Amino acid sequence: MYSFDGFGIERKSSYGSLIDLSENGKAQSAGGRPRIAIVGAGITGISTACHILDAGLDCHIFESGNESSVGGIWTKVNTTSRLQIHSQFYRFHPAVQWDSDYPNRQEILGQVHQLWDRYNLASRTTFHCPVESTRQEDDGKWVVNDPSYGYFDGVVAAVGTCGEVYAPKIAGQDNFKGRVIHSSELDPEAVKGKNVVIIGGGASAVEALEFSCDNGAASAKVLARSERWFIPREPRLNACLAGTVGDRFGILAWILGFMIRFFFYREFWEMAPPSSGPYTLFSGTPIVNSRIFQLMRQGRASWVRGDVRGFSEHGIEFTRRKGSPKAGELNGEATTEKGDICILATGYSRPSLQFLPQTKSSSKYQPPNWYLQTFPTENATVCATNCTWQEGIGSVGGVHIGLYTRFLLAFVMDPEARPSERFMKGWVDLVHILKKPYPGGALSFVSSAELFFWIVVVIAVQPSLWKWASFILSGPDLLHGKNVAQNTNLSERFPSNASQPALPEKPIAARQDSGISI
């Protein structure tokens, strides 16, 4: 048994118990226990590696950046950035213990680095190694880039939804006499005493608005194109919204939307998205913030929706939106929103999944419309955790990382437990029938309760998974009532896999909002 000193919890793992569950130990690698390749050293990649080691299997992480990249998107955001949802929705490993309800960048990276050190993940990571391709050999083994890195029994894509800074060039930008910066470069001196105009409508825009007000900006105005809901930082309400499983006819969304308008928006009623159409409460990721309306009531900030037409010398040419025009249609009042500095709160580009084998399935079965949203419908030994996520409530960065990881381990250890391509496509078809249609497919918006519901359902309807149910749902602590004592030293418990070839160093190869919303 090994323990996390200071966390007050214990984890027990038994590779032997997993072999007992599998079919005659078919998945054992030539060098011993199965080995999983993980692409990305962000929160998802690190959490996945820890869960794999918890189960007594082996893994290796491939990271395109250097050692400072450990932690993913949280290494790129501002020091003032903090989680926009309650921390209990962001508990990505049992050892994670938050000191605050809405932790900041420093606290989040602190938890990440504690896991990194305790599991000795540096010995299992190759930095400066962008993954350009993965392929599966005839014997089922996976190759990442080339065979010099060894062979793997499964692949986890953990590149997330936020990659490089996305800063589009806007018409007339060179004519603007003020300063233009990205929301990842917030500077107190740059906004002090200035009229700040912010282009964007997600969590990055909220952060930029609060930052400007807190650092002495004369005024701060957000020009938002998107129609996003604001919901208060109220854990019980957040849990209620995240606990919704489907809303086929939009009745629940209408009721909750009315209540949020009445009790939260109040005099800003018209600022809420339309009750009908594509902007219902369960159509896009809401912004969790209780302070924005306070700043607006104090006259320190404003938030308007519309379309940016371009820069002028002294501000932004903007068309304020009236009603709900069709996509691409400009209507409303044309204005010039004057400002001394413009902050582009345009988020980050979405990393590509081109390194995974290209699926032959129709567009109907493209991400996010995969089995359980993360497994390609053609191969259950690939898992793209948090990479296909588009919109949702409480459905990214949480305990589901461990659930998906253990699903993958069950599929790797026991080929009989792997769902067939027909079954996986049938599941996607069923979700499209039962759920309300969304642009991009039924799985383009998910809540945390919905994910857990589907996980329980697919286990229940697949007899081959019944023996794995305890492991998938509860982790490696208990397997058929067996407790297996382990060493207390994690670095000894998880030594580097000496049976694999040494990993050579390789040179580094020459939009999505930051993940601080729900």
Name residues of the chain where pLDDT drops below 70. Answer: 1-31, 245-248, 275-278, 322-331, 395, 437-440, 477-518
Distance CA 440, CA 449 (A): 20
Distance CA 414, CA 464 (A): 9
51 within 8 A of 472, measured Cβ to Cβ: no
Q: Which amino acid is at 285?
A: T
pLDDT at 499: 41
What is the CATH code of the structural domain delimited by 2-163+350-493? 3.50.50.60
Q: List, in order, residues 6 or more apart from 510 with CB less than 8 Å away.
A: none
pLDDT at 189: 93
Domain boundaries of the chain, sorted by first residue: 2-163+350-493, 173-344
Category of 85 on φ-ψ map: left (φ > 0), alpha (ψ -120 to 50) or beta: beta
pLDDT at 440: 66
User: Can you give the pTM of this predicted structure?
Assistant: 0.85
pLDDT at 415: 93
The answer regarding whether domain 173-344 maps to CATH 3.30.70.270 reads no
pLDDT at 133: 96
User: pLDDT digit string (tens) for 1-19?
Assistant: 334 444 344 444 455 566 6
359 within 8 A of 371, measured Cβ to Cβ: no
pLDDT at 1: 37
Task: Give the number of other CB atoms < 10 A from CB of residue 13.
Answer: 24
Q: List, in order, residues 6 or more apart from 54 with CB less than 8 Å away.
A: 11, 13, 475, 476
pLDDT at 413: 93
pLDDT at 104: 93
pLDDT at 337: 94
> DSSP states of 340-354 as a string?
SEEEE---BPPPP-T
pLDDT at 49: 97
Of 409, 503, 514, the residue nearest 42 (C-alpha): 514
User: pLDDT digit string (tens) for 373-432?
Assistant: 999 999 999 999 999 988 888 767 788 999 999 999 999 999 999 999 999 999 999 998
pLDDT at 506: 39
Of 242, 243, 226, the residue nearest 278 (C-alpha): 226
pLDDT at 514: 44
Supply φ then ψ for residue 434, to 5 degrees. -80, -30
Distance CA 414, CA 384 (A): 20
Distance CA 460, CA 455 (A): 9
pLDDT at 288: 87
Copy the structure tokens of residue 17: 């118990």
